[in-house]
Chain A
Amino acid sequence: MSNHEQAALVRQSLKRRYRKERRFRFYGILAIAIALAALVTLFADIIGKGYTGFIKTTMTLEVRFDPKTMYLEDATDKDAFSMADFKAPLLAALHDVVPEAGDSDDRDLGHLLSSYAANKVRDTLEADPSLLGKTQTMTFLVSDDVSVYVKHADDPNYSIQLSEKQQGWVDQLQERGIIQNSFNDVFFQNGDSRDPGHAGVLGAIVGSVLTMVVTLLLSFPIGVAAAIYLEEFAPQNKFTDFIEVNINNLAAVPSIIFGLLGLAVFINLFGLPRSVPLVGGLVLTLMTLPTIIISSRAAIKSVPPSIREAAEGIGASKMQVVLHHVLPLALPGMLTGSIIGMAQALGETAPLLLIGMVAFIVDVPSGFVDAATVLPVQIFLWAGSPELAFIERASAAIMVLLTFLIGMNALAIWLRRRLERRW
């Protein structure tokens, strides 16, 4: 075959080869497009499902604390107080704003308000007994069914439980501004509740913060110390190698295995209580340690040898070189790595399920050994509920969680840009 013929052959195949090239390139773009589409769908889905979670629907009523209908003559009398009827003033107030409702509509009318409304009347009166016989303007959460109707009347996924009559009342009340939508501050002030309107993330956020405090206080110093030992002091021998192999493997062990470890060691062996932030923090510490050790070692490695040599040259001991010179220079890198490790721990759910942090907990935890739950577990609990109102809460909680995570990652990036030195 002459050169000429060869050139002709190549030229003939060129078209096909270029087509292949274009196809290959297209596959690459397609892959990226798929990944990004998944990302966008995920976020759009969650925001679409959950933004209504940040809205609460309330009803403002003129409540008259009528001693007669409440069967309560003296509000300071404890026995009479516990027997009093706190629904009566609410019903009367509802009748005032819905004049067309007759006496037979009491049930339907009462159903417009959340079942906790009577508790609010009681608490208000208990706090200020002089209100008996007076009238006060009070704002109540509406019942779930009303809330669903107000927020999702057009959404086919939600089924409207209100009767035609009730719908008419709600429409009219909304028009008159008695039923209103506003920012859902209840969501950030309450713990979990059986009633979606009253369920909030505060308990879960506090639980997460307590757990993270334990994790950070343990994993950062231990991780940094381990990294310093491995990078600066460890002799080159089999044992050091063994430690390294262990760390690398632990970084890839499924998180649920750490849950088994926590269950067997911290709860069954040491007898620590279940469902508490202390144990959660211990488990997450063991889980995040490898990440922190690995990133801290990288940070130590990036400190140039000239720094060490200079310090050694003027007579610093090995420990002084490390603590006075290497560590301060490596610290920003270590911090960045730790924040990323913390962000992972904050989103972790599986191991916490095994140590019992899935309980239904209404109270906001006040200490490290109080029963608590954390944000991701709260999301898991709400997501498993058959009520759509809880799904809405779960999406809203996801947005809160993602905000925290993005914030932490942004902080890490900012720290890296700001503090990290290139040598």
Chain B
Amino acid sequence: MQPGNLFPLVVVLIGIAFALGYARSRALATPLGGIRHLKSLPFYYAARASLWCGLPALIIFALWLGFEDKVIQTLVIGSLPADIQPDSPGRASLILSQISNVASGALSPEFVPEPIAGAADRLTALRAESKLMMTILVICVAILGAFVAWLRIAPHINARAKVESTLRKIFFMCAGLAILTTVGIIFSVIFETIHFFHKVSFLEFFFGTSWSPQTAIRADQVGSSGSFGMIPLFVGTLLISGIAMVVAVPVGLMSAIYLSEYASKRMRSIVKPLLELLAGVPTVVYGFFAALTVAPFIADAAGWLGLDASTESALAAGLVMGIMIIPFVSSLSDDVINAVPQTMRDGSLALGATQAETMTKVIFPAALPGIMGGILLAVSRAIGETMIVVMAAGLAANLTINPLEAVTTVTVQIVTLLTGDQEFDSAKTLSAFALGMMLFIVTLALNVIALHVVRKYREQYE
């Protein structure tokens, strides 16, 4: 049975388990003199029956779906004759895709060696077998679970307590998923990164000044080694983020100050949602704007001034990224400025300071740590931003700080290295994970510091 049909079937079984549990608990209660002689309401006996029915079955279902393909693939590869056993993971994935193409009918069995065609048949058979086994197992477990729970319905059992403690455990696991995600992120990058550092030295990666991940397909090709120095990427990322911050910090901060200190209620109620609209625009739209409008405009303007600007200039990507971050900076600074106690404002104004003086000499210094925290968060966003730079910044890793030249960033390289055809296990593909690791560590550090600073600051005035 298809997974798409099995799931509704399990849901129906859960419903039946609920109905049966409900009926049985009422039936048990009647000779005793009504449901008040049960330890819990019939609903809880029924809920317990449906939990017993659904939980184990759905867990098996999910695990089966998760590991099915992997197990089948291993079995198929293992069944190949020794002479075409793949010697590397890359070769294995090649053979696998050949086999699955034959199995799906995209490739005629006549065009592949005989063992591959045999393996394709085996793959089809295994898939069907696995589907059947899964269906039987899931349905059996569901029915068995419901049956056991149904048998165990008895007036003296406190079904409510049991249902509640199960629910509590489920809630706990949902909350724990956050930890699991973090662990997942770390593990998904760390192995490939370690692998990468077996191929490329630490020193080259961190201090190399040239990045060209093109490794040769044939060993005798010219320039086959590829170089993996991340400095140009790092500088490019910092350059674009720097331009973005130069735009976003003054504009965001000043608009937050104006909106919180000067603007009338009416103006605030109009401008604030508009700024939020800027925050809601997807990054791919900013990328489109940067690549097709701002970049050509800058190239033209520079040409007009007699300067030479690339059509993929860092300036275009940086400016647009700055626009994207404005609402982020302004809403964070707004929070921080509003957290400064009103008494400080009143005190300063009462001494005869103007509003601007109050702002710059009293409130701003008081809010500074919070604002710095907000700016750090904005920097971490700029560094991790992907679509704008993928669409508007270049691919060539130039080591330059000239904003009119094309530079590339860490995120651009990750996307370029991991989309399209990948050579499995090559330094080129692995380097994307190493870059991802660097990105994760840097943004994590910035976030931890920023959140810490912001929290410390809030406590100060609470």
A interface residues (Cβ-Cβ under 8 A, vs B): 10, 17-18, 20-21, 23-25, 27-32, 34-36, 38-39, 42, 45-46, 49, 221-223, 225-226, 228-230, 233-234, 242-243, 246-250, 252-261, 263-265, 269-272, 286, 289-290, 293, 317-319, 343, 346-350, 353-354, 356, 358, 367-368, 376-377, 379-380, 383-384, 391, 394-395, 398, 401-402, 405-406, 409
Contacts and interface: CB of A to CB of B under 8 A. Distances in A.
B4 A367 contact: yes
A393 B434 CA distance: 36
A195 to B, nearest CB: 21
Nearest to A42: B289
Contact of B384 (A28, A233, A255, A354): A255
Interface string B284-328: 111111011100000000000000000000000000000100110
Contacts of A234: 175
A20 B355 CA distance: 10
Interface stretch (B17-25, B223-231, B441-449): B441-449
7 contacts: A23-B356, A28-B257, A36-B274, A252-B377, A255-B384, A257-B440, A395-B288
A222 B70 CA distance: 27
B111 interface: no
Contact of A45 (B73, B289, B387): B289
Contacts of A261: 181, 184-185, 188
Interface of B: 4, 66-70, 73, 160, 164, 167-168, 170-172, 174-179, 181-182, 184-185, 187-189, 192, 250-255, 257-259, 262, 271, 274-275, 277-278, 280-289, 291-293, 323, 326-327, 330, 352, 354-357, 359-360, 377, 380-381, 383-387, 390-391, 411, 414-415, 418-419, 432-433, 436, 439-440, 443-444, 447-448, 451
Contact of A228 (B68, B69, B171): B171
Interface hub of A17, A246, A409 (most chain B Cβ within 10 A): A246
Interface hub of A233, A260, A264 (most chain B Cβ within 10 A): A260
A28 B258 contact: yes
Given A243-B179, A289-B177, A349-B387, A229 B171 contact: yes
Contact of B185 (A31, A233, A257, A391): A257
A30 B383 contact: no
Given A39-B274, A257-B440, A343-B280, A49 B292 contact: yes
A143 B355 CA distance: 64
A49 to B, nearest CB: 7
A380 B255 contact: no
Dominant secondary structure of chain A at its interface with chain B: helix
A35 B436 contact: no
B391 A380 contact: yes
B284 A289 contact: no
A271 B69 contact: yes
Dominant secondary structure of chain B at its interface with chain A: helix
Given A253-B443, A264-B188, A269 B70 contact: yes
B387 A354 contact: no
A66 to B, nearest CB: 39
B19 to A, nearest CB: 21
Contacts of B160: 317
Nearest to B391: A383
A379 B285 contact: yes
B282 A350 contact: no
Contacts of B359: 24
A373 to B, nearest CB: 12
Given A46-B285, A226-B178, A350-B283, A256 B277 contact: no
Given A34-B251, A257-B439, A384-B391, A272 B69 contact: yes
A29 B308 CA distance: 34
Given A38-B326, A39-B278, A380 B182 contact: no
Contacts of A46: 285, 288-289
A184 to B, nearest CB: 19
B192 A264 contact: yes
Interface hub of A18, A20, A257 (most chain B Cβ within 10 A): A257
A246 B182 contact: yes
Given A32-B255, A264-B188, A42 B386 contact: no
B70 A35 contact: no
Given A28-B258, A228-B171, A383-B391, A254 B178 contact: no
Contacts of B385: 254
Nearest to A395: B288
Contacts of A233: 168, 171-172
B323 A32 contact: no
A350 B293 CA distance: 21
Contacts of A353: 390, 415, 418-419
A252 B380 contact: yes
A207 to B, nearest CB: 15
